Amino acid sequence: MFKKLIFSACILFAGSSSLFAFSNGDMLITPGFGLGASSGTATVWSGADLSYYLTNGSNTTWFKDGTTKYSFAWSIGCGFDYFFNDSVSLTTGLSYDSVPFKVVYEKNTFISDCEITFKLSYLTIPLGVHWYPSIFMIGGGLYYGLTLSNDAKIKVGSSSENFSADTSSVLGFFIDAGVNLDVANGNLLLFAKFRSDLTYAYTEDGDLVTDVKTRAFTINAAYGFKL
């Protein structure tokens, strides 16, 4: 009985794995979206320097040193895979990516925190490789992000002020990992994506926050149409 169950399971797995098979020249179009969190790295003033500046040199203890915080990130777009063989593809596409970057100076002797937020968003074009072993998908590559937003905000307590930052388009790298499932004669991709800038999204000598590079981690869902 046990051997029959094992044999049946092998047949089922072999049959199901063929659903995910690709061949040379196949193309896969994958519209989808992702939700997650963004943060990053930057060069920032110390809390003492910020306090000194805001009080015209009379106080250096208002704020603690600034630290980066996570913000809500999201993405929507469409991917495209061109297959070289039954499991390896060249991947590209086009997506809108919202990847805010936030630095918070927590209060020390002052009454509230100071927050600086860059509302960064990009039109992103990736170029990389995907590998589809059985039902899994693993891959990565580089991306170019064309900047779409230069909005920023500084907030202290209940007071805030919006301003424009001279943000730049970016180059970066990404990593994908997830599963490829057969649903309704199509391919449902559920995967995690990590993206990280290699160039600065914002840089300005002497600014309170400068040399900004963003990172984001999202959980994504996409439905694939094989051509």
- How far is 103 from 68, CA to CA, in rounded Å? 4
Per CATH, the number for 2-226 is 2.40.160.20
pLDDT, one tens digit per residue, over 35-74 is: 999 999 999 999 999 999 989 999 999 999 999 999 999 9
pLDDT at 174: 98
The DSSP code for 86 is: S
pTM of the model: 0.86
Q: Where are the domains of the chain?
A: 2-226
pLDDT tens profile 102-114: 999 999 999 999 9
pLDDT recorded at residue 20: 55
Determine the 3-state secondary structure of 63 from DSSP.
strand
Nearest-angstrom CA–CA distance, 180 and 222: 10
Determine the length of the chain: 227
| Tens digit of pLDDT at every position of the chain (227 positions) | 444 444 444 443 444 444 456 888 899 999 999 999 999 999 999 999 999 998 999 999 999 999 999 999 999 999 999 999 999 999 999 999 999 999 999 999 999 999 999 999 999 999 999 999 989 999 999 999 999 998 999 998 888 899 888 999 999 999 999 999 988 778 899 999 999 999 999 999 889 999 999 999 999 999 998 88
Pairing of strands 88-98, 71-83: antiparallel
> What pLDDT score does 112 carry?
94
Q: Coil, strand, or helix at residue 16?
A: helix
What's the half-sphere exposure (Cβ side, CA atoms, 13 Å) at 179?
5
Strands in 114-118's sheet, in edge-to-edge order, are 67-69, 101-105, 114-118, 151-156, 159-164
Torsion on CA atoms 97, 98, 101, 106, rounded to nearest 10: -150
Three-state SS for 109? coil
pLDDT at 206: 86
- Output the pLDDT for position 157: 82
Give the single-character DSSP code of 8: H
pLDDT value at residue 3: 45
